[in-house]
Structure 1
Amino acid sequence: MNNKLFGTTFVAMLGTTVLFFGLSQAGTYAINKVVFPTKGFGDQTYIGPYDVSNLPETDAAVTVQTGVKAWYDEAQVQIKLQDAIIPFPLEVVEFNTDRTLTSARDGAKNELRFDVTEESVGTFLNQQFSPMIFSDEEIVSVTKSIREQLASGRKDQTIDISTALLASSSVETAITNVSFNNIETSVGIRNLMTALNGYVINPKSTFSLLEFIETADLGVLTEQDLTTVASILYASILQTNFGVDERSIGPVVPTSVPLGFEASINRELGIDFVFTNPNTTSFTLNLNGVGTGINASVTGFPFVYQYETTITDRLEFQPKIIKQFSSFVEPNTIRVKSQGQNGIQVTVFKYIKSSSDIIETKEVSKDFYPPVHKVEIHPLTASAPAEGTTDGTTTDGTVNPPIGIIDGSGSTTDGTTGQAPTPTNPGTGTTDSGTGTTGTGTSNGGSTGSGTTTGDDNNEKDSEPKYDKGGNLIPPSK
């Protein structure tokens, strides 16, 4: 009886406990899900670069806010407009936590939401990119582009607003304008200029002149034609922020293009002219003839900075005189085979300006053209050796023929060149040795050489006079 009562009471208490536990859990669920619902995120959920997988919304908010705070401390955001890159002030950027969390989706990569006002962006543009003027439409477009780029949460990024501005503006201007005067425009030059006129240089693209002429039917083109056109292109490109990848000069001072701007082309040696457009906007080449010269310009979206080139540090080097000898030149006459030309070295500098202030100076190149040496042809003279010599050396120490001739090729040991004169053989003189007599002989060259010989050493010693201590002559022994 007691056991039955105990069992009944236990079951009643257990049921009551389960009931109260279920009601409490249901109440908690109702409060969390119905009265005060709390959002959570599932697997593979990211907000910006931050992983919020399987985190409730409150924890996800803490994770994202902590990451964004560190981003403000470390991030470096720059705004690029054509050729100018300026740091963007992060103090005008405000992070919107609520909009970021409410727009995030489970299992996806979500963006951060930053608020940047159009007023702050307009102030930044007008201050940093003066004297350029920005319309309200352009400021709205740039503000939208900055917000979109910041949404990734990258710490180091450069936001290029050139495309955003170009999309809202059709303004294109002549960025460069270069003329070469007194140029004899051949048919090849005119054909090449016609083919290049209107050529579009695409964003981030490279132009090669040799590759271009391979794709176009331009008729006969000489190396001088190509060099002239490449040179005016080079001079024009120097007035932009384009990069020059390949450019060479010729072996002699140019006469058809200005000094410092030559871009020599040689198809046989593969010598090319190559440059690259580093911008996100396109540009157009324009070439045409103007009177007795040619003109080149580049049109496109304007740059922030101005580019100027100058030629400085001009040095000249005198040529040497190379002497050659020839039997065909009359005596006392010097024939000039080549007049020679001074060597020249010039340095090309590029100045990058903001308004009238120089903000950077770059040395573009140092062009050196070696001197062309003067060549003189002298008469070939061959005088007989002076009297009393047998080896062709005169009494004043000079040598005839000229010193330095080492073979019959005309080269000399002092760096000059010339035709070797016909050598003259000195007299050798034949003698009757050991007899103590004097003899004469005739050399191969026809000159007569003389010489006195004596007997052997013993006879020579005996024949020498001897004196005693008092200075008296001692008679020779018999």
Structure 2
Amino acid sequence: MFQLNKKTLTIGISSIVVLIFMSSVALASDFRFGKQFENHTYVGPFNISDKKNEQAKSKLVSDFSELQSKLEVNLIYQDIQFSLPPETISFNIDMSLANANSGEDNPIIASVSHDGLKTVLSQELPSIQFSEDAVKSVAAGVEKELQTGIMPRNVHITDYLANEIPNEVVASAEYNIDMISPALSKAINALNGVIIQPYASFSMMELLTSEEVGPLTDEEMTLLSSILYTAVLQTNFEIDERNISASLSSNIQQGFEAAMNQTLGLDFQFTNPNKTEFTMHTAWSAGAIRLSIEGMPLYYKYEPSTTNIETYKPRIVRQYSSFVDDGQVTVSQDGKEGIEAIVKRTLSIDGQIVDTEDISEDFYAPINRIEIHPLSKGNTSVTDSTDSENTTLPQNGEAAAADVEPGNINSEEIESSDSNNSNNINGSQNSDTEDGTVHEESTEEEINYDKSGLPISGK
């Protein structure tokens, strides 16, 4: 009986393996140097179909040379973009062909100089310390992006940094408030930990009207939105919707209100334009609501501020009525100064301002102070602005007069709650300047009559 020993068997198997390998090499060599690439064979955007290896190589030499001359690779880090010099990139023709599969779309094999990339990163982003692993990771990312050969290429280097750059607080805001309602406390907790995804929009109305928060007043929603708006202005987030109310609350800083109104559908919305996510943190303690935004640090420092504040004094409108006792004055509406606040924002690097942006011009009209005085004989004559003639009103309890002290710049008329007939009164104009600019100006005023038939001043 025929029997093979182990040595003979081993030699036989080894010979078969060698023969198979040599045959594969011969076939590959024959394909590369003898046969053509099949139809629809591409290296990047370059067609090498129906070409032999040497012909394909000659074509790629020309194609890659043209590609090198048009090379445009933009590196993006958060809110800054800069170019990678073409000399830091080279294309490997031989390896691109060696890895090409006939009849398929194949990648371009490119290489990025680690030293060159490190130099560029250190020059453009001096505040960030890139480790050798980080540079290698970014280089590999650029090489991957270059495989298509389509220009320009925008490479977000944050995609390849992983945990190389730790998160930090990029914006914060704090508003003082002594007490908060249970609903506002829930809203603060609901906002805490919210993640703003890359390229995602955020709606304050959507969050604050969710079931987990509960009913809030418009004033409470406005307060919380204004705190968030103050912080958002310290980032490169894009404001999609922001409103102001008719009158500014004393709890909110001038120029930084983001009014909310559920009935009118007034919302505060913004979008994160970065490739990285950010997390909001909120808390109420020691009489203050604190909010911060945490994420990968931005390149620029954003500092919003009110550059100009003008105030407008309210008018004092005197109304006269027989229902007010002699010597008494009733205030039916407290006055409030009007405000105009201009907000700008500076962008700086290492304390050096590189740009200034206009953010907003907020105007709040003054609210007139309305006083009701007792009717007296000395207040029975008014001047009609239409014909400039004096008109004497009856003094038997059926008439009253009104005076107006000049105040704000509004040329609107002043309206009382009950009105039937009216006469106009011309006023005078003057101006005064204090810390902010204070404007005073009177406007025409009408006389209206109360329910008893007595005229009272009005709009």
* TM-score normalised over the length of structure 1: 0.73
Deviation at 1:134, TM superposition (A): 0.9
Query: CA 1:417–1:340 in 2, change beyond 3 Å: closer, same or farther?
Result: farther
1:80-136 Cα deviation digits (max 9, x unpaired): 111211111111111211111221111211111212121111111111111111111
1:141-191 Cα deviation digits (max 9, x unpaired): 1110011111211211210011211x2437221222221124532222211
Q: For residues 412-423 of structure 1, what are the structure 2 equivalents within 5 Å? A: 412-414=423-425, 415-420=444-449
1:120 alignment partner AA: G
Q: Does 1:82 find its partner at 2:78? A: yes
Query: CA 1:350–1:408 in 2, change beyond 3 Å: closer, same or farther?
Result: closer
Which residue in the other structure is 2:149 paired with? 153
Q: Which structure is higher in strand share?
A: 2
Q: Does 1:400 find its partner at 2:411? A: no
Q: Select which of 251, 254, 263 maps to 2:258.
A: 263
Query: CA 1:46–1:34 in 2, change beyond 3 Å: closer, same or farther?
Result: closer
2:93 and 2:74 map into 1 onto residues whose CA distance is: 23
Q: Does 1:37 find its partner at 2:33? A: yes
Deviation at 1:61, TM superposition (A): 2.8
Which residue in the other structure is 2:199 paired with? 204
Which residue in the other structure is 1:110 paired with? 106
Instruction: Determine if contact 2:33/2:52 at 8 Å carries over to the other structure.
Output: no
Query: CA 1:205–1:328 in 2, change beyond 3 Å: closer, same or farther?
Result: same
Which residue in the other structure is 1:364 paired with? 359
SS in 2 for 1:151: helix
Q: Select which of 200, 206, 219 maps to 1:224.
A: 219
Structure 1 residue runs of 5 or longer lacking an equivalent are: 1-29, 387-395, 424-478
Instruction: Determine if contact 1:188/1:222 at 8 Å carries over to the other structure.
Output: no
Deviation at 1:193, TM superposition (A): 0.8
1:250-300 Cα deviation digits (max 9, x unpaired): 111221121111111111111111111111211111001131111111111
2:374 and 2:210 map into 1 onto residues whose CA distance is: 56
Which residue in the other structure is 1:409 paired with? 420
1:199 alignment partner AA: V
SS in 2 for 1:260: coil
Q: For residues 43-192 of structure 1, what are the structure 2 equivalents within 5 Å? A: 43-165=39-161, 167-169=162-164, 171-192=166-187
1:400 and 1:408 map into 2 onto residues whose CA distance is: 19
1:315-342 Cα deviation digits (max 9, x unpaired): 1122234443433235686544323112
Q: Which moved more, 1:37-46 or 1:172-181?
A: 37-46
SS in 2 for 1:87: strand
Q: For residues 330-341 of structure 1, what are the structure 2 equivalents within 5 Å? A: 330=325, 335-341=330-336
Which residue in the other structure is 2:236 paired with? 241
1:114 alignment partner AA: A
1:342 and 1:226 map into 2 onto residues whose CA distance is: 24
Deviation at 1:46, TM superposition (A): 1.4
SS in 1 for 2:390: coil
Instruction: Determine if contact 2:320/2:373 at 8 Å carries over to the other structure.
Output: yes
Which residue in the other structure is 2:410 paired with? none
1:224 and 1:36 map into 2 onto residues whose CA distance is: 76
* Count of residue pairs brought into register by the alignment: 381
2:347 and 2:319 map into 1 onto residues whose CA distance is: 52
Q: Does 1:302 find its partner at 2:313? A: no
2:367 and 2:154 map into 1 onto residues whose CA distance is: 52
2:126 and 2:233 map into 1 onto residues whose CA distance is: 23
2:288 and 2:203 map into 1 onto residues whose CA distance is: 24
Q: Select which of 298, 315, 318 maps to 1:320.
A: 315
Deviation at 1:63, TM superposition (A): 3.1
Q: Does 1:279 find its partner at 2:290? A: no
Instruction: Determine if contact 2:422/2:447 at 8 Å carries over to the other structure.
Output: yes
Q: How many percent of aligned residue pairs carry the same amino acid?
A: 30
Which residue in the other structure is 1:7 paired with? none
1:337-366 Cα deviation digits (max 9, x unpaired): 323112111111121111111122111111
Deviation at 1:55, TM superposition (A): 2.3
* TM-score normalised over the length of structure 2: 0.76
Instruction: Determine if contact 1:118/1:139 at 8 Å carries over to the other structure.
Output: yes
Q: For residues 380-395 of structure 1, what are the structure 2 equivalents within 5 Å? A: 380=375
Query: CA 1:45–1:378 in 2, change beyond 3 Å: closer, same or farther?
Result: same
Instruction: Determine if contact 2:32/2:53 at 8 Å carries over to the other structure.
Output: no
1:399 alignment partner AA: T
Instruction: Determine if contact 1:322/1:416 at 8 Å carries over to the other structure.
Output: no
Return the index of the structure with the highest Cα Rg.
1
Q: Which moved more, 1:413-422 or 1:113-122?
A: 413-422
Instruction: Determine if contact 1:80/1:159 at 8 Å carries over to the other structure.
Output: yes
1:416 alignment partner AA: E
2:278 and 2:421 map into 1 onto residues whose CA distance is: 59
SS in 1 for 2:148: coil
Q: Select which of 188, 198, 218 maps to 1:193.
A: 188
1:212 alignment partner AA: L
Q: Does 1:352 find its partner at 2:347? A: yes
Structure 2 residue runs of 5 or longer lacking an equivalent are: 1-25, 382-387, 394-400, 404-417, 426-443, 455-459
1:323 and 1:36 map into 2 onto residues whose CA distance is: 101
Query: CA 1:275–1:63 in 2, change beyond 3 Å: closer, same or farther?
Result: same
1:399 and 1:353 map into 2 onto residues whose CA distance is: 65
Instruction: Determine if contact 1:324/1:417 at 8 Å carries over to the other structure.
Output: no
2:213 and 2:30 map into 1 onto residues whose CA distance is: 80
